[in-house]
Amino acid sequence: MVPPQPSEASVRVSEHVHVVRVRVRSYPEAYSPNVYFVVDGGEALMVDSGFPDDDSVRARLEYLRSLGAPELKLVALTHHHYDHSSGAYRYQQETGVAVAMNPVEAELLRQAAKSASPERTAEERRLRRQAARVRVDMPLEEGAALEVGRLTLRALLMPGHSAGHMCFHLEEEGVLFSGDNVLGIGTTAIAPPPYGDMLQYLDSLRRMQSLDAAIICPGHGPIAHQPRRKIQELIDHRRERDEQVLLLIGQGKDRLSQIVRGIYPELDPRL
Ligand SMILES: [Zn+2]
C-alpha cells in the first residue's frame, strides 16, 4: 500500500507558514479544506484541522515531523463547519494538543451535531458528530494573542460566513488566515442570521482589507497574493448581487427560492 502523502500542493507559504492539503475522496478536490501550520522556535500552531480520516491526520503529522518535529501547541479553529473542525479531536487524541475556538462557534458546533435535518447525508451527519467530539480548551475572543515561538497570531472576530467566525493575523509576516470569509476559489456562502450575516460580512471584508496583509491564506483554494484586490472583488461582487436582487424583485420574482435560483445557479450547497 502506498503511504498517504500530502498532495504536492503542500508548500511553504512564507517563512513560518505552511499549507498542508490532503485529498479526501468524499469531497471535491477543488474544495478540500486548507490546513496551515505556523512554525517557529520548536513550536507549531495549526490553523483549522481539516477532516478526521486516518490519511489526513497521518499526512499532516508526518509533514510536521518533516519540519523537525516542532511541538504542536495549539489548534486554532476559524469556525465550526465540519470541513474545518472535524479533525480537531483526532489531533487531541494523538498529541494532547489544546484547541482554541470562539464560544459562539463552539455552541453552533454542538447544535449542528444534534440537528438531524433530513437533507444531510449520513456522511455529513457523521462528520458533524465527530466535529463535536472536540474539547475546547481555550475560548477565543477578539484580540486574543496566540504565541508560537517568537511570533504572535492575533485572533480577530470577523462574523459573516458564520456568526462567530475568527480570522488570524500573523502580524510579523503580514499573513491573514481568512477561514471561509475569503476563499481562494469562488465566493463564499453567507448563511442567514443567526448563523451568518451579510451586513456583518461586508464589515468584516472591509476590516480585513484595512489590515493591508501581504498574503491571504484562505480556508479553501489557492493562496491569495494580492489581498486588497481579492477582497475588493468580493465587495464588488456582493454589490452586484444586491443590484440583481432588486432587479428580480422589480420583475415580480419576490419568492426567495426564485431569487436564489436566479442569481446563484452555480452555488455548491456543500460549502
Ligand atoms: Zn465554512
Mean predicted confidence (pLDDT) in 227-237? 92
How far, in Å, is the centroid of ligand 1 from the Cα of 86? 12
271 Cα–ligand 1 center, Å: 6
43-47 sheet: strands from edge to edge: 11-14, 17-20, 35-40, 43-47, 71-76, 98-101, 138-139
pLDDT tens column, 107-137: 999 999 998 777 778 889 999 999 999 999 9
* Residue 154 amino acid letter: R
Determine what percent of the chain is predicted with pLDDT higher than 90: 68
Contact 129, 113 (CB under 8 A): yes
With a pLDDT cut of 70, the percent of the chain lying above it is 89
Query: What is the predicted pLDDT for the residue at 63?
Result: 95
Q: Taking Cα atoms as reference points, which of 151, 150, 153, 188 lies closest to residue 167?
A: 153
Ligand 1 centroid to Cα of residue 64, in Å, is 25
In this structure, which residues have their CB less than 5 angstroms from ion ligand 1? 81, 180
pLDDT at residue 249 tops 80:
no
pLDDT tens digits for range 65-112? 999 999 999 999 999 999 999 999 999 999 999 999 999 999 999 999
The rounded distance, in Å, linking the Cα atoms of 21 and 11 is 9
Q: What is the dihedral of CA 11, 224, 162, 88, to 10 degrees?
A: 10
Cα–Cα distance, 257 to 58 (Å, whole number): 42
* pLDDT category of residue 167 using cuts at 50, 70 and 90: very high
Whole-number pLDDT of residue 41 = 97
Residue-level pLDDT at 261: 65
Q: How confident is the model at residue 262 (pLDDT cuts 50, 70, 90)?
A: low
What is the rounded distance in angstroms from the CA atom of residue 51 to the CA atom of residue 69?
21
- Would you mind telling me the total number of residues written for the chain in this entry? 271
Counting Cβ atoms within 10 Å, is residue 49 exposed (0-12), middle (13-18) or buried (19+)?
buried
Query: What H or E segment, with its residue span, contains residue 127?
Result: helix 122-131
Q: Is the pLDDT of residue 64 over 90?
A: yes
Domains, the chain: 11-226 (3.60.15.10)
Q: DSSP characters for 227-264? A: HHHHHHHHHHHHHHHHHHHHHHHHTT--SHHHHHHHH-
* Confidence grade of residue 196 (pLDDT, cut at 50, 70, 90): confident
Residue 254 vs residue 45, higher pLDDT: 45
Band (149; pLDDT cuts 50, 70, 90): very high
Contact yes or no for 97/91 (Cβ under 8 A): yes
Residue type, 131: A
Report yes or no: 75 and 37 within 8 Å, Cβ to Cβ. no
Please provide the DSSP assignment of 157-218 as one string.
E--SSSTT-EEEEEGGGTEEEEETSS-SSS----PPTTT--HHHHHHHHHHHHHT--SEEEE
* Integer Cα distance of 164 and 122 in angstroms: 26
Distance between Cα 264 and ligand 1 center (Å): 17
CA of 180 to the centre of ligand 1 (A): 5
Residue 5 pLDDT class (50, 70, 90 cuts)? very low
Instruction: Give pLDDT, residue 260.
Output: 65
pLDDT tier at 158, thresholds 50, 70, 90: very high
Residue 3 clears pLDDT 50, i.e. is over it:
no
Q: Give me ligand 1 centre to Cα 79, in Å.
A: 7
Three-point CA angle 35, 40, 43, nearest 5°: 75
User: 48 C-alpha vs ligand 1 centroid, how far in Å?
Assistant: 11
What is the whole-number distance in angstroms between the Cα of residue 220 and the centre of ligand 1? 9
CA of 207 to the centre of ligand 1 (A): 19
The DSSP secondary-structure symbol of 109 reads: H
Q: Collect all residues with Cβ–Cβ distance below 8 Å to 87 and sequence separation of at least 6.
A: 35, 49, 50, 51, 52, 56, 57
Report residue 143's pLDDT band, with 50, 70 and 90 as the boundaries.
Answer: very high
> HSE (CB half, 13 Å, CA atoms) of 223?
21
Q: For 16-34, what is each residue's pLDDT tens digit?
A: 999 999 988 777 766 789 9
